[in-house]
């Protein structure tokens, strides 16, 4: 059985004080849940969040990392820093990183490998634009992104990644894919993983849906047979909203 996973992606939001207060508020309300709970935040918040989350079931993740351990990469953060402060997860290849910061499939693959090398679990984002969806190229797009992201990974390494299917047209727009549409694409992603590895390995890999997930639609989404969780943006910024998402 794959453990359901609810991850909040705060993007460029919250101060350290706000982040600490958020965790302190939600901790007693999500204790004992059967869902894996993750909060992914800006780099400067992570150390304090990790500290205040100790003793809880909340895991902390970064939103990006560089594929080199050190070097002349001004403004970047290395996996060594993330490892030292105890990061559990890191988001890699989010559509905003691809769109605004030139993230390529090749760089995504390098980052995935480096994260796994240091026992940090990658949440690998894939998804199509509205134009690609209208042109019926969704499957082609996500297949290529998945194949590029996991290129060169062993079965054991692949089983540790999380894939987040996030149709770009649904991120922050209020337009969520229907639960059945999302499940159909996620089922195809698992078939792609099975064709590369094996059914046994593919069955271990969790695939989330992301894109305008809210407390009002999370239960419907999570009831789909192939959807293992949600990567949530705006609805994860309010503590009580996030509690409702986790306790769907």
Binding residues for substrate, by number, are 9-11, 172, 212, 233-234
Q: Please report, in range form, the residues annotated as the binding site.
A: 9-11, 172, 212, 233-234
Q: Using an 8 Å Cβ cutoff, are 40 and 48 in contact?
A: no
Q: Which of 36, 103, 132, 166 is catalytic?
A: 166
> Given 36, 66, 94, 96, which residue is catalytic?
94
Task: Report CA torsion sign: 66, 68, 72, 77.
Answer: positive
> Is 224 marked active-site?
no
Question: Could you give the CA distance from residue 168 to residue 96 in angstroms, rounded to a whole number?
Answer: 9
Q: Is 66 a catalytic residue?
A: no
Q: Which positions are catalytic?
A: 94, 166
């Amino acid at each position: 059985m794959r453990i359901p996973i609810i991850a909040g992606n705060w993007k460029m939001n919250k101060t350290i004080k706000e982040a600490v207060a958020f965790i302190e508020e939600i901790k007693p309300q999500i204790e004992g849940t059967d869902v894996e709970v993750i909060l992914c935040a800006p780099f400067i918040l992570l150390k304090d969040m990790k500290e205040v989350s100790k003793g809880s079931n909340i895991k902390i993740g970064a939103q990006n990392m560089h594929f080199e351990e050190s070097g002349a990469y001004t403004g970047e953060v290395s996996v060594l820093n993330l490892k030292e402060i105890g990061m559990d997860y890191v988001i890699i290849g989010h559509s905003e990183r691809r769109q605004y910061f030139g993230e390529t499939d090749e760089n995504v693959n390098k980052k995935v490998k480096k994260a796994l090398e240091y026992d940090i679990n990658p949440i690998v984002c894939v998804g199509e634009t509205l134009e690609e969806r209208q042109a019926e190229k969704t499957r082609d797009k996500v297949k290529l992104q998945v194949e590029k992201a996991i290129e060169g990974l062993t079965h054991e390494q692949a089983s540790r990644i999380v894939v987040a299917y996030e149709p770009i047209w649904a991120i922050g727009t209020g337009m969520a894919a229907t639960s059945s549409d999302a499940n159909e694409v996620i089922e195809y992603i698992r078939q792609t993983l099975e064709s590369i590895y094996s059914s046994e390995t593919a069955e271990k890999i969790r695939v989330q849906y992301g894109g305008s997930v809210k407390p009002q639609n999370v239960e419907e989404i999570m009831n789909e047979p192939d959807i293992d969780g949600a990567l949530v943006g705006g609805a994860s910024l309010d503590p009580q909203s996030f509690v409702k998402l986790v306790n769907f």
